[in-house]
């Protein structure tokens, strides 16, 4: 089984509206859109060969850190991101009141 690549960097592909991370020979993504001072996180896709290796969490953390750095409210439409935020309460302050 391949080892988790901790050195891969999450890239924000602004033109495609997604965060990307090379994983398992493919690209994992977290699709987003910017709407009125908020970042709407729509869908996370992780290649099957990279599942269970923390790839989705790395994408979520990068998106949430980006939101914090830019003063954006987070609207997590993606089930994975909603669940991830529940497990990481340090990001709950980014959610709408």
DSSP track, 22-75: EETTEEEEEEEEEETTEEEEEEEE--GGGTTTTHHHHHHHHHHHHHHHTT-EEE
Structural domain contains residue 5: no
Tokens coding 78:
């993606």
Cα 87 to chain centroid, rounded: 14
Structural domain contains residue 6: no
Structural domain contains residue 3: no
Give the whole-angstrom CA distance, residue 94 versus residue 74: 6
pLDDT tens digit at each of 97 positions of the chain: 344 456 789 999 999 999 999 987 899 999 999 999 999 999 999 999 999 999 999 999 999 999 999 999 999 999 999 999 999 999 999 999 8
Q: Tell me, what's the pLDDT at 20?
A: 98
Q: Tell me, what's the pLDDT at 6?
A: 62
Structural domain contains residue 85: yes
Please, are residues 23 and 8 in contact by the beta-carbon 8 Å criterion?
Answer: yes
Residue 50 belongs to domain with CATH number:
3.40.630.30
Tell me the residue range of the domain where 56 lies: 11-91
């Amino acid at each position: 089984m391949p080892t988790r690549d901790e050195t891969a960097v999450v890239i924000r592909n602004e033109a495609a509206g997604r965060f990307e991370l090379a994983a398992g020979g493919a690209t994992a993504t977290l699709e987003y859109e910017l709407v009125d001072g908020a970042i709407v996180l729509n869908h996370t896709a992780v290649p099957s060969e990279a599942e269970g290796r923390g790839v989705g969490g790395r994408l979520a953390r990068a998106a949430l850190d980006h939101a914090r750095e830019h003063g954006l409210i987070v609207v997590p439409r993606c089930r994975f991101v909603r669940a991830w935020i529940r497990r990481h309460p340090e990001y709950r302050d980014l959610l709408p009141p």
